[in-house]
Amino acid sequence: MRLIPAGPGRRFIALLLDASCAIAVAAALTLPLRFVLPPAALQAAAVTLSFVVGWGWYVLFEAFGQGRTPGKQLLGLRVVDSRGLPLTLEQALVRNVVRALDFAPVFYGLGAFVSQSDTWRRRLGDLAADTLVIRESREFEALGELRRSDEFNSLRTPRVLRLVRRRVSMEEAELLLALTLRADQLGDAARYDLLESVGRHYREKLELGELPISGRALVQGLASLVIGERRPSSRRLGSRR
């Protein structure tokens, strides 16, 4: 099992989301008290509630929410023990108390600096509590979008199959699969340019000449071929010349 540390960008956005939510909750709890408490007592309640919600938000959600505050959950992040185990209450408390130093000199400047210098992207609180913030990848539903290998494919000729086996390595095969799965996430222009560029590369490598299909169709066709031609690890798909 591997742990993938979360990058500073996502962590920062999650932090902003959590801070906004905490402020909103504290305000929502304080507002009704305006109608029942005198001004001095209201001030005491407001100060206390702001403090408790502001600090307690992170501790309680991380300790009892499987390491996820609402902001972290939205961004696909989770706080775990450095061994990948769930966070303990003690770890949640210590990593968030040290937030007082991470916040120095202004809005997490020190914490961000330390996090950028650390291999696991840990801020000071993570170092003190032996925790990590990891990124959880998306579900594997996307695998269902892979083209079935028995659809019509103009590339499926004995000559091309032979060249694919010999000249397309496992790493290239994975690249073709990844392109096929992720191409729709790109903008139109970027997708077109990328797939045309990759298509040109494989036209040349596999001696496909002026085959009248687009770069996208070429990449998808090749991806379909490599799925259908996949062998167990004892017989590799192809090797570089």
* Side-chain-facing half-sphere of 152: CA atoms under 13 Å: 1
Q: How many residues bind other proteins (CB under 8 A)?
A: 63
Q: Among 13, 23, 60, 97, indicate the residue that binds other proteins (CB under 8 A).
A: 97
In the bound state with other proteins, the residue whose beta carbon lies nearer, of 75 and 80, is 80
Is position 130 an interface residue for other proteins (rule: CB under 8 A)?
Answer: yes
Give the pair of three-digit tokens for residue 148.
């079935």
Task: List the beta bridge partners of residue 80.
Answer: 132
Part of the chain binding other proteins (CB under 8 A), chosen from 18-26, 132-140, 158-166, 211-219 = 132-140
Helices (H), 37-169: 39-64, 70-74, 89-97, 99-102, 109-117, 124-129, 158-167
Token look-up 């600090």 returns: 55
The H or E element spanning position 134 is strand 131-135
Is position 197 an interface residue for other proteins (rule: CB under 8 A)?
Answer: no
In the bound state with other proteins, the residue whose beta carbon lies nearer, of 1 and 189, is 1
Residue 104 region, left (φ>0) first, then alpha (ψ -120 to 50), else beta? beta
Q: Among 34, 44, 109, 236, indicate the residue that binds other proteins (CB under 8 A).
A: 44
Distance of CA 203 to CAs 180, 207, 217, 219, Å?
A: 17, 6, 12, 10
Closest CA to 224 of 179, 166, 171: 179
Closest approach of other proteins to the CB of residue 109, in Å: 15
Q: Among 143, 150, 210, 240, indicate the residue that binds other proteins (CB under 8 A).
A: 143
Residues that bind other proteins (CB under 8 A): 1-4, 37-41, 43-45, 47-48, 50-51, 64, 66, 80, 82-86, 88-91, 93-94, 97-102, 124, 127-130, 134, 136-140, 142-143, 146, 149, 170-171, 174, 177-178, 181, 227-228, 230-233
